Amino acid sequence: MAESVKVTILGSDYSLRTNDESMLREIAAELDSELKDLQNKLPGKSPTTLAVLTALNSAESLVHNQSHELRETNRLASEIEGLCDELEKVIAGK
Amino acid sequence: MADSKHTEAEIIQARERLARAFTRLSTLVAGIPERIQTLERSRSDANNRVKEAQTLLEKERAINAQRDSLSESAKEQLQIAEERIRDGQSLVSERDASIAELHSTLSSLEKELHKRDMELASSKENVLSLEERMLGLQDENMQIVRQLEELREERDRATAELQNKKSDEDAYALKFTRDERQQLLKTVDSLIQRVDELTSPNGHH
């Protein structure tokens, strides 16, 4: 059941619909924190610029995380498959 | 954007692969308890077999110990038997030497017996010869006895004749000369001497 949740990001309020309010609030707090950090580092920049830079950082992090997830997922799958092979060998070797 | 979708697709494939691997692993893991129970039973059976094998091994060791003991005893018996055999062989050697000596003695005795046989044969021949000789002597003795009887008869006749002669001499002392009487006496003495020779033990021929 989606519900409307009101969050504040860089001083502006946004009403968003979500099925997971706690996660939405966590994400909003993280984004607000990053924008404020960037605003402190780049004083005088417009909120749009700060949003674009934060979006770029998030996109970079997303790509990096996807790549990391892909590698780790494949590595974990390989390890599990290897473990399955070993188990099958052990079981077959009765 | 295209790379992101491609990466997402790869991630989805990787997740699916991971899900399949988990499913496979879950299936395997689900069978592990049964497999462990089977292995536990096998281990228990194996332990029982090991215990049985250990029991058998202990029995085998005991049997081997008995065999070793028997083997030692057998070795001692064998040594005693070997010593007896050596003693027996020594006795046999001595007996063989005695037998060889007896053979030699027997051979010598056989030669001696053969020699005695020959001597016996010769003695038999001599006995036969002596018997023949004795028969001849008996015949000769019979002849001598007959001659002695004849001589006795002749002596008796001569004695009777001498008696007659002496009667005649007494009756006709004057009819014989001195030489005739001496001749008659010599004849009578000669006859008596001959009779004595024939009747004496050394007189037989």
Mutation for testing the B interface, residue in A60, A66, A80, A88 having most B CBs under 10 Å: A80
Q: Give the SS3 label for residue A45.
A: coil
| H helix runs in chain A, sequence order | 21-41, 47-92
A51, two tokens: 């949003």
Burial (0-12, 13-18, 19+ Cβ within 10 Å), A77:
buried
**Residue % of chain B over a pLDDT of 90:** 46
Would you state the pLDDT for residue B205?
44
Task: Give the model's confidence band at A29: pLDDT under 50 very low, under 70 low, under 90 confident, else very high.
Answer: very high
Interface of chain B against chain A, CB under 8 Å?
A: 4, 7-8, 10-11, 14-15, 17-18, 20-22, 24-25, 28-29, 31-32, 35, 38-39, 42
- Residues of chain A with C-beta less than 8 angstroms from the C-beta of B22: 80
Task: Give the model's confidence band at B171: pLDDT under 50 very low, under 70 low, under 90 confident, else very high.
Answer: low
Would you state the pLDDT for residue B44?
93
- Please give the radius of gyration of chain A, using alpha carbons only, rounded to the nearest integer: 22
Helices A47-92, A21-41: inter-axial angle, 10-degree rounding: 130
- List the 66-85 stretch of A: residues with Cβ below 8 A of B: 66-67, 69-70, 73-74, 76-77, 80-81, 83-84
Q: What is the pLDDT of residues B125-152, one digit of tens each?
A: 888 888 888 898 889 888 888 888 888 8
Would you state the pLDDT for residue B169?
62
Q: Say yes or no for a CB contact (<8 Å) between A73 and B17.
A: yes
Q: Say yes or no for a CB contact (<8 Å) between B7 and A91.
A: no
Quote the ipTM score: 0.73
As a whole number of angstroms, the distance between CA B30 and CA B46 comes to 25
CA-closest candidate to residue A25, choices A9, A12, A39, A47: A9
- Residues of chain B with C-beta less than 8 angstroms from the C-beta of A94: 35, 38-39, 42
Task: Give the model's confidence band at B184: pLDDT under 50 very low, under 70 low, under 90 confident, else very high.
Answer: confident
SS (H, E, C) chain B: CHHHHHHHHHHHHHHHHHHHHHHHHHHHHHHHHHHHHHHHHHHHHHHHHHHHHHHHHHHHHHHHHHHHHHHHHHHHHHHHHHHHHHHHHHHHHHHHHHHHHHHHHHHHHHHHHHHHHHHHHHHHHHHHHHHHHHHHHHHHHHHHHHHHHHHHHHHHHHHHHHHHHHHHHHHCCCCCCHHHHHHHHHHHHHHHHHHHHHHCHHHCC
- Please give the radius of gyration of chain B, using alpha carbons only, rounded to the nearest integer: 71
Would you state the pLDDT for residue B17?
93
The mean pLDDT of A13-37, rounded to a whole number, is: 95
Residue A59 has pLDDT above 50, yes or no: yes
**pTM of this prediction exceeds 0.90:** no
Instruction: Give φ, ψ of A18 to 5 degrees.
Output: -155, 160
